Amino acid sequence: MMDRIVITGMGVLSPAGLTLEEFWNTLVSAKPVYGPLPEWADDDRYRVKLGARLQRYDWAKDLPLKSYGKAACYCMAAAARAMEDAGLSRRSMGTRRVAVIIGTTMGEIQEEEALTERLYGGAEGDKTVFCRKYPAYHIAHAAAELCRASGPCYVVPAACAAGNYAIAMAKQLLDGHYADIVLAGGVDVFSKVAFAGFQRLLSLAPDVCRPFDKERRGLVLGEGCGVVVMEREKERIGGRQYGYVLGTGLASNAYHMTAPHISGEGEGNAMRRAIADAGLRTEEIDYISAHGTGTKANDRMEAMAIQRIFGGRKLPPVSSIKSVLGHSMGAASMLEVIACCLMMERNLLLPTANYQTPDEECPIDVVANQLREGKLHYVLSNSFAFGGQTSCVALGKIEGHYGKEGAR
């Protein structure tokens, strides 16, 4: 029997918090962390001026910000927290093959934005800095440098599904014994380019994000990073056990660059494959962490896919933490997997904030506005992306385990 893959450490860097405890408590509160962007208050180019950005930078005091771009530094900080949470150090990892896989949407796009301002806006500054900081591989290299990784190290540019793709590839490395420990992560920094793009698509909410609500009007853009430590269970040296990565499902609908296909077939395929890869039956799934962006088309399509796969019986409850965090793009799915692990530990389902009016086009069981108790043995975490990239991760509870030191 193949050794199961277990998550032994987790680290977050999010507007919702810089520790797992802060992150969890913010999600429990169902109070959105996004708000007006004061730096754009007088900028007429932006119709919507709402977003979720990191407000604290005490995490950066010991990081080489001058050597790396912001995304790489986010990744390095979250990786350090994940390693500390797992009780890992360079010494304890010894000669084990450590791999690093980081997913992202925009990479170090803010470096390109800064260069553009220098070239065309007349701003002063060292233009050679761009060449040192911009390449996307630096993001994974920063985390690899932190832990002296000797295994594979690469970046996965799979847009908003990037975190789940990183987990799927990490599982492949561990199952195939190409690595002994994998740091898998997802990261994106708040970007003017991404913000302007979503605005042109008329996808930005003017007030709040309301996934699956009949009155939903779009997403709220955010930023952040999540990193998990993954190991084979019998060979693990990490001191914690948050949950099993039982299966992954990757698919594509090859339909449109930005619009989801109304049938939800690609999204359904990802869920089916994750369930099959985990060796589970649909009736065993206790909860679904939805992609749930708050856009009309995406939420309707995801609800239809869930209905198609789980229809004919009581649907598993569904929630979307993007209602609180905003959409942190490449970091979103990794932060959602981390949230799922915390839910499984506590047998508590996180709420979908701002949900008021059920939508007949989204006939699913939405966990609305407050925590719900529920036994969680097996959960799915969905993440879908532009270009028709779809992904799903199946996670399993480690029975009788509630962290090394209880709730954090």
Look at residue 303 in the predicted model and tell me its pLDDT. Answer: 94
Is 403 part of any domain? no
Give yes or no for residue 234 having a pLDDT over 50: yes
Is residue 372 a contact partner of residue 352, using CB atoms and an 8 Å limit?
no
Q: What is the pLDDT of residue 237?
A: 87
Query: Is 371 a domain residue?
Result: yes
Extract the runs of DSSP E, i.e. beta strands, from 209-278: 224-232, 243-252
Q: What is the pLDDT of residues 80-90, one digit of tens each?
A: 999 999 999 88
What integer pLDDT is reported at residue 186 of this predicted model? 97
Whether residue 252 contacts residue 388, with contact meaning beta carbons closer than 8 Å, is answered with yes
Q: Which residues contact 69 (CB under 8 A, 6 or more apart)?
A: 108, 110, 111, 133, 134, 138, 139, 189
Q: 176 is written with which tokens? A: 């195939």
* Mean pLDDT to the nearest integer, 267-283: 95
Residue 372 lies in a domain: yes
Q: Considering only CA atoms, which of 33, 36, 35 is closest in space to residue 16?
A: 33
Per-residue pLDDT at 400: 60
DSSP assignment, residue 165? H
CA dihedral 284, 378, 278, 27 (to 10 degrees): 140
Q: 58 or 143: whose pLDDT is higher?
A: 143
The answer on pLDDT for 127 being more than 60 is: no
In the set 327, 340, 341, 362, the catalytic residue is 327
Number of CB atoms found within 10 A of residue 272's CB: 17
Give bridge partners of residue 165 from the DSSP assignment.
none
Helices 192-200 & 109-120 angle (0-180, nearest 10): 90
Say if strands 378-384 and 287-289 run parallel, antiparallel, or are unpaired: parallel
Rounded mean pLDDT, 117-128: 62
* Domain that residue 258 falls in: 5-396
Residue 407: pLDDT band (50, 70, 90) is very low
Work out the average pLDDT over 328-337.
Answer: 97
Q: Would you place residue 334 in the very low, low, confident or very high pLDDT band (cuts 50, 70, 90)?
A: very high
The pLDDT value recorded for residue 389 is 86
pLDDT at 134: 63
pLDDT of residue 60: 77
Instruction: Using pLDDT thresholds of 50, 70 and 90, give the confidence band for residue 256.
Output: low
291 part of the active site: yes
Pairwise pLDDT comparison (124 vs 143), residue with the higher score: 143
- Choose the catalytic residue: 75, 147, 153, 160: 160
Q: Is 243 a domain residue?
A: yes
Residues contacting residue 405 through CB under 8 Å, at least 6 positions apart: none
141 annotated active-site: no
- pLDDT score of 402: 46
So what's the pLDDT on residue 87? 95
Residue 283 has pLDDT above 50, yes or no: yes
Placement of tokens 């009949």 in the chain = 214
**Residue 53 belongs to a domain with what CATH number?**
3.40.47.10
What is the structure's pLDDT at 196?
Answer: 86
Q: According to the model, what pLDDT value does residue 408 have?
A: 34
CA distances from 228 to 16, 55, 270, 392, 408 (A): 17, 23, 21, 16, 16
**pTM score of the predicted model:** 0.93
Q: What is the mean pLDDT of residues 239-252?
A: 93
**Catalytic residue of the set 291, 340, 362, 392:** 291
Q: Quick one: what percent of the chain has pLDDT higher than 70?
A: 90
How far apart are alpha carbons 160 and 313 in whole angstroms?
Answer: 30
- Quick one: pLDDT at residue 130? 54
Q: What pLDDT is recorded for position 263?
A: 64
- Please tell me the distance from the alpha carbon of residue 233 to that of residue 169, in angstroms, as a whole number: 17
Radius of gyration over alpha carbons of the chain, in Å?
Answer: 20
Q: How far apart are CA 49 and CA 38, in angstroms?
A: 8
Instruction: Count CA within 13 A, CB hemisphere, residue 379.
Output: 32
Mean pLDDT of 102-117: 84
Pairing of strands 224-232, 181-188: antiparallel
How far is CA 60 from each of CA 64, 332, 341, rounded to the nearest angstrom?
A: 8, 21, 26
The sign of the torsion formed by the CA atoms of 155, 24, 290, 218 equals negative
* Domain count along the chain: 1
Residue 213 has pLDDT above 50, yes or no: yes
What is the tens place of the pLDDT at every residue in 373-392? 999 999 999 999 877 789 99
Asked whether residue 406 is domain-assigned, the answer is: no
Average pLDDT, the chain: 89
What are the tens digits of pLDDT across the range 163-208? 999 999 999 999 999 999 999 999 999 988 888 888 888 899 999 9
First-residue to last-residue Cα distance in the chain: 33
When pLDDT is averaged across residues 211-240 and rounded to a whole number, the result is 94
Sequence-ordered list of residues with C-beta below 8 angstroms from that of 182, at least 6 positions apart, any chain: 98, 99, 100, 101, 151, 170, 173, 174, 229, 230, 231
In a domain, 387, yes or no: yes
pLDDT at 29: 97
Select from 291, 298, 159, 288 the least CA-distant residue to 216: 298
In the residue annotation, 327 being an active-site residue is answered as yes
